[in-house]
Amino acid sequence: MQADNITGRNKKYKWKFLLLVLIPLAILIRRLMAMSPDFTEHVYSQGIYRYIMQPVSIITGLFPFSVAELALVFIVAYTPVRMVCIAIKAVRKSDWHILLRFIANVVLVGSLWFFIQVMVWNINYERLPFSDLAGIDVKESSVIDLEALCRYLVDKTNELREQVEEDNRGIMTVNGGYRSIFKRAQTGFDAIEDKYPFLGGRYGPPKPVLLSRLMSHSNIIGIYSCLTGEANIDVDIPMMEIASTTLHEMAHQRGFAREDEANYISYVACMAHPDVDFKYSGIVMALQYSMNALYSESPDRYFDVAKNYGPGYLRDLEDERAYWKQFQGVTKKVADKMNDTYLKLNGETDGVKSYGRMVDLLIAEFKESNEIR
CA distance readout (Å), 283 to 34, 115, 242, 272, 291: 33, 38, 13, 11, 12
pTM of the predicted protein model: 0.88
**Distance, CA of 299 to CA of 285 (rounded, Å):** 19
**Hey, which residues does 230 pair with through a beta bridge?**
225
Question: What is residue 369's predicted lDDT score, i.e. its pLDDT?
Answer: 79
CB atoms within 10 A of CB 36: 12
For residue 72, give every residue at least 6 positions away whose Cβ sits within 8 Å of its Cβ, in sequence order, or none.
none
- What's the pLDDT score for residue 185? 98
Q: Which whole number is the average pLDDT over 113-140?
A: 94
pLDDT, position 11: 59
CA distance 323 to 286: 20
Cα–Cα distance measured from residue 254 to residue 248, given in angstroms and rounded to the nearest whole number: 10
Q: What are the tens digits of pLDDT across the range 61-120?
A: 999 999 999 999 999 998 888 888 888 887 787 777 777 888 888 888 999 999 999 999
Give mean pLDDT, residues 41-67. Answer: 96
Tens digits of residue pLDDT in 141-197: 899 999 999 999 999 999 999 999 999 999 999 999 999 999 999 999 999 999 999
CA distance 62 to 104: 34
Q: What is the mean pLDDT of the chain?
A: 88
What pLDDT is attached to residue 329? 62
pLDDT the model gives residue 370: 60
The confidence score (pLDDT) of residue 352 equals 30
Average pLDDT over residues 270-285: 98
What was the pLDDT predicted at 348? 53
pLDDT classification of 219: cutoffs 50, 70, 90: confident
Closest CA to 54 of 306, 230, 223, 258: 230
Domain map of the chain by residue range? 2-126, 136-368
What pLDDT does residue 84 have? 85
